[in-house]
Structure formats: C-alpha cells, structure tokens
Chains A and B, each alone.
Chain A
Amino acid sequence: MFTSPLNIAFVVMAGAITGAFGAILGTGGGVFLIPLLVLGLGVPMHYAVATSIVSIIATSSAVASANVERGTANMRLGMTLEVATSIGAIIGGISAGWIAASVLEGFFGLVLVPTAMLMWRGKESGVEAADQIGPLKQTGPPVPPPDGGQVMGALDGSYFDEAERRVVAYRVRRLGAGWAISFVAGAVSGLLGIGGGVFKVPALHLFCDVPIKAAAATSNFMIGVTAAASAFLYYGRGEVRPALTAATVIGVVAGSALGSALNRRLRGAHVQKVFAVLLVAVAMQMLYRACFAGSG
C-alpha cells in the first residue's frame, strides 16, 4: 500500500495540495485529502480518516500561529466555540464504529448545498458589517466590557486586512447558533475526519456576522483542538499509521505555508466565492458516496 518512493511522493504531494487549500479556505483540507488517499492510493477508509485528522492538527497549528500573530484569529470566540466542537468531536470519534457514515455523509451533502448558495450571495467580505459599527473601528485587541457586561461584547474582534489596507472591526452576534453549528461540526469531524471548517466558516460569517477572513482564521484556530479531541481515539484504536501519516503531515505543513502566503494577498470576496464552489464540490462528493459508493 505505501512502500514505493512514487507512493510516498504522491502522499506528500496530496498533503501539500490539501494543506494549501486548507490554509486559504480554513477547511483543514480533509475534504480533499480523504478522497485522494482512498481513491488515489488505495488506503483503507479508516486509516485515511485517521491520517486526515492528524494532518488537520498540523495544518491548524502551522496556519493558526501565523493568524494569531496577525490578529486575524479571534482566540476568545474560538475558545468559546471549542467547548462545543470538542464535545461533538469526542461523540463523533466514539460513534465512528457504530453509526453508518453514509447516512451522515448524505445529510452533510444536503446541508452544504443551501449553505454554499447563501455563501455565494452573502455579504461581500464582512467589511460592510464593520462599517455599520463605526465606534468599534480601532487597532489592537478588542476592549473587554466592564464587569457585568455582555459576554458577546468580550467576543468582538478586529484585525488589519492587508488586501483592504484597513482595520476591520466586527461585533459577534447569535453566539448560540455558532455554538450549535460548532457542535455539529465537531461531531462530523470526529466521524468523517474532516476539520469541520465547511460548517464553521459559513456559520461564523453568516450567523455570527464575523468577516470571512476572521471566520476562516478563527475556524482554523479551532480545527486543531477539534481534531485533537478525536485523534486520540483513532490513535488508541491503532488507526493512525505512522509512516503514511508522517508523509502526509510533511506535505500538509509545506502546503499550508504556501496557502497562508497566498491568503494574505487574496481579497475576502474572492475567498468567499472559492469557498462556495468548494462547498458544492464537497456536497456532490458526499451525496454520491452516500447514494452509490457507500462509506467504505
């Protein structure tokens, strides 16, 4: 399965491509990696899922460190939602053995189609929302509220958008919706080995009013913890294959560095459009697998 230099090169390259996409889109790249490993290299599905989960940790750690430095990732919001994603990921990881993945994959595909449409037609970059809350325009970290203030206020954020050449400030709204979708994202991540960014980025952007770049960065920040919450379960079952996973991770880290550099030059609206197309592609893949191919 994984002995020839050609296979190793393929795995490293697959990791690099998915790592680059993950960094740009905040998805973690698992939605591309698993089909590449299973269909391209014949890796058994459960090993591919485990490999994907560990490589997601690598992507998140590498990209999140850059996003934290730039202030794009909202750490307070991310940590608050990590409670939900971690619970979901543990439940998903435990359930992996006794829930038909094809049922969830079909549901996943159905949910993604309207989400992609909303994403395509949604706010251009979140800058509009920031413009409407002028007093929040500032540099530096968000100012926490006085004692007794609303939790939501403490979760507000701001960052410098290099493409727009301006500070973008935003107010986080509808935290409950973000929490609920983060839980679902964690459960799907634990079950299918994807980062869950396909749920979290649109949810943060469309429901919580977080600008798309901050949503992608915060999602990427969270993805590492989400993946770690289920990775130990896969590791304990012996499904994390050291050599295969190591080659994938090396490629993913290299690719995510490239993707992170590209992300700095892309405008928010472009990222949003690309993400909408990605969602449609993943939805088709999931629906096809659920209807015709089974879960492997």
Chain B
Amino acid sequence: MSQTRRAANLERWVQRTLLSGTALSGVLLVLGLLIVFMRHEPRPEGPSLGLGMLRRTAIAGNGLSITDLGLLVLMVTPLLRVAVLAAGWAYERERRFAIVALVVLCLLGFSIFLGIR
C-alpha cells in the first residue's frame, strides 16, 4: 500500500472516530435531556455518580445519568482519536510520532486519574 493511501486511511479512521464519538454523545445528550424535561428530574448538586452507578441508573432510564454518560463519551472522544493516531503511526512505523501520541495518551490518562479517582 502506498504511503499516500496509508495516510488517507489513517485520516479516515481519525475522522470516523471523531464523528462516531460526537454522534453517539449527541444521541445520548438529546435523549437524556428529553427525559430530564419530560420527567422533570431534579438536578442534584455535587460530584457526579461513579461510573458503575452511572451505568446502572442510565440503563434504568434516568435522564441525567444518560446525559452524564453522553458527556463522558464526548470527553473520551479526543482520547480515542489520540489512540487511533498512535496505533496508526505505529503501524506505519513512524515511531517518532507514535511515541509522541503515546505521551499525549499518558497525559490524558493522568488527568482522568486525577479527576475521577
């Protein structure tokens, strides 16, 4: 496969990742927001629920939890985009940029650790 085609494939994967993340979060946000206002769910203050509790309440149809899940999907989307580029550049043997992407991935992981521990 030519270098041009490989680069185009990687761009396509990055585009798909960004679009999928945005679309999925968009669906969850709209759905969650509709449920919130149809059921007049209260807005609790304070830190968000843990991931396990969030998943359970979202499956149970809690609008705020579905919205929260949509926001998390959105926040994770750039992280997935970095992971796709790291894998793509590693596959193309562009070690220099694969390592740079891995460093960015580690920094984002550190931020998640600090924020949601």
- Contact: A141 with B7, CB < 8 Å? yes
Nearest residue, chain B, Cβ from A226: B78
- Contact: B107 with A236, CB < 8 Å? no
- In-complex Cβ contact of B115 among A144, A236, A245 (8 A): A236
Q: How far is the CA of A69 from the CA of B10 in the complex (A)?
A: 10
Q: What residues of A have a CB within 8 angstroms of the CB of B37 in the complex?
A: 8
Is residue B91 contacting chain A, with contact meaning CB distance below 8 A? Answer: no
Q: How far is the CA of A249 from the CA of B21 in the complex (A)?
A: 13
- Contact: B18 with A68, CB < 8 Å? yes
> 1/0 per residue B63-91: CB within 8 Å of A?
01001101110111111011001000000
- In-complex Cβ contact of B71 among A2, A54, A65, A83 (8 A): A54
Q: How far is the CA of A151 from the CA of B30 in the complex (A)?
A: 44
- In-complex Cβ contact of B18 among A61, A71, A87, A94 (8 A): A61
- In-complex Cβ contact of B33 among A154, A229, A250 (8 A): A250
- Contact: B114 with A247, CB < 8 Å? no
Is residue A216 contacting chain B, with contact meaning CB distance below 8 A? Answer: no
- Contact: A79 with B104, CB < 8 Å? yes
- Contact: A79 with B111, CB < 8 Å? no
- In-complex Cβ contact of B78 among A87, A154, A225, A236 (8 A): A225
- Nearest Cβ on chain A to B82's Cβ, whole angstroms: 6
- Contact: A90 with B111, CB < 8 Å? yes
Q: Of A69, A86, A87, which is in contact with the most chain B CB atoms at under 10 Å from its CB?
A: A86
- Nearest Cβ on chain B to A49's Cβ, whole angstroms: 14
Nearest residue, chain A, Cβ from B32: A246
A83/B85 contact (C-beta < 8 A), A224-B77, A243-B67, A250-B30 known: no
- In-complex Cβ contact of B22 among A58, A231, A238 (8 A): A58
Q: How far is the CA of A102 from the CA of B14 in the complex (A)?
A: 38
Nearest residue, chain B, Cβ from A54: B71
- Nearest Cβ on chain A to B91's Cβ, whole angstroms: 14
Q: How far is the CA of A235 from the CA of B108 in the complex (A)?
A: 14
- Contact: A228 with B111, CB < 8 Å? yes
Q: What residues of B have a CB within 8 angstroms of the CB of A230 in the complex?
A: 111
- Contact: A54 with B75, CB < 8 Å? yes
Q: What residues of A have a CB within 8 angstroms of the CB of B33 in the complex?
A: 243, 246-247, 250
- Contact: B104 with A86, CB < 8 Å? yes
Nearest residue, chain B, Cβ from A71: B11
Q: What residues of B have a CB within 8 angstroms of the CB of A80 in the complex?
A: 97, 100
- Contact: B19 with A229, CB < 8 Å? no
Q: Of B26, B71, B101, which is in contact with the most chain A CB atoms at under 10 Å from its CB?
A: B71
- Contact: A61 with B77, CB < 8 Å? yes
Is residue A140 contacting chain B, with contact meaning CB distance below 8 A? Answer: yes
- Contact: A75 with B14, CB < 8 Å? yes
- In-complex Cβ contact of A232 among B26, B30, B82, B115 (8 A): B115
- In-complex Cβ contact of A236 among B3, B47, B82 (8 A): B47
Q: What residues of B have a CB within 8 angstroms of the CB of A154 in the complex?
A: 96-97
A242/B68 contact (C-beta < 8 A), A232-B114, A250-B29 known: yes
Q: What residues of B have a CB within 8 angstroms of the CB of A287 in the complex?
A: none
> 1/0 per residue A204-242: CB within 8 Å of B?
000000000000000000001101111111111110111
Is residue A187 contacting chain B, with contact meaning CB distance below 8 A? Answer: no
- Nearest Cβ on chain B to A177's Cβ, whole angstroms: 18
Question: Which residues of B come within 8 Å of A, CB atoms?
Answer: 3-4, 7-8, 11-12, 14-15, 18-19, 21-22, 25-26, 29-30, 32-33, 36-37, 43, 45-48, 64, 67-68, 70-72, 74-79, 81-82, 85, 94, 96-97, 100-101, 103-104, 107-108, 110-112, 114-117
